[in-house]
A and B are shown apart, each in its own frame.
Chain A
Amino acid sequence: AQSVSQHNHHVILSEAASLELGCNYSYGGTVNLFWYVQYPGQHLQLLLKYFSGDPLVKGIKGFEAEFIKSKFSFNLRKPSVQWSDTAEYFCAVNTGGFKTIFGAGTRLFVKA
């Protein structure tokens, strides 16, 4: 069965620090990859997605992610985080079927 692993469950950063959240998936075929974000008290929303083409994708609020097929990875990055980036981040994978599988999530806390 497909699975998604997120390496860090909790991350604490100071404002202006750089962010990288790891995501690895287990599936050898074509995948659609997503990062979702859940801000405190809000529902999940899409941050960015990769379907095909340029493996470096840019999303909202300055986030980007790089798809490395050989490493089965889709890491999320942001050069300089803000206090408002405090949220829970979920990596998700769809292998073309009806099921989108989510990772366990990473809680990010940004200190002002």
Chain B
Amino acid sequence: NAGVTQTPKFQVLKTGQSMTLQCAQDMNHEYMSWYRQDPGMGLRLIHYSVGAGITDQGEVPNGYNVSRSTTEDFPLRLLSAAPSQTSVYFCASSYRRNEKLFFGSGTQLSVL
């Protein structure tokens, strides 16, 4: 049982480049979410999904897109990376919306 799997673990981008952070879970969880972690600011919710085909914005959605075509996968897209998006990104899932979250191991992203 792999849990929540994120790829890549590290990524360096130049300003303006695009990329997709991958997230997959094998627990059949309906709820999935993306957070970014910045020093002194904790984890801030970017986007979340309550099931295949259903997504919504969190606290800091600007500059990020998501889609949920299957229960298992919830990719996060940066269309035009900016230095302000340098952060550590975590994907999380849960069985129900207010239950405990299972986290992936994170992606450390640097935008130069």
Contacts and interface: CB of A to CB of B under 8 A. Distances in A.
Give the secondary structure class of B's interface: strand
A103 B58 CA distance: 15
A45 B58 contact: no
A102 B98 contact: no
A22 B23 CA distance: 32
A101 B98 CA distance: 11
Given A98-B50, A99-B48, A99-B58, A90 B43 contact: yes
Give the secondary structure class of A's interface: strand
Given A32-B98, A43-B104, A49-B100, A98 B56 contact: yes
A28 B31 CA distance: 25
Interface stretch (B10-18, B34-42, B62-70, B72-80): B34-42
Contacts of A82: none
B98 A97 contact: yes
Interface centre among B42, B92, B106 (most CB of A within 10 A): B42
A34 B92 CA distance: 15
Task: Sort chain A's interface into a size bin.
Answer: 20 to 34
B100 A34 contact: yes
A43 B90 contact: yes
B42 A102 contact: yes
A105 B104 CA distance: 18
A46 B100 contact: yes
Interface string A17-41: 0000000000000001010100000
Interface of A: 4, 6, 9, 32, 34, 36, 42-46, 49, 90, 92, 94, 96-105
Interface of B: 31, 33, 35, 40-45, 48, 50, 56, 58-59, 90, 92, 97-98, 100-101, 103-106
23 contacts: A4-B42, A9-B40, A36-B103, A42-B105, A43-B90, A43-B103, A44-B101, A44-B103, A45-B103, A46-B100, A49-B100, A92-B43, A97-B97, A98-B31, A98-B50, A99-B48, A99-B58, A100-B33, A100-B101, A103-B42, A104-B40, A104-B41, A105-B43
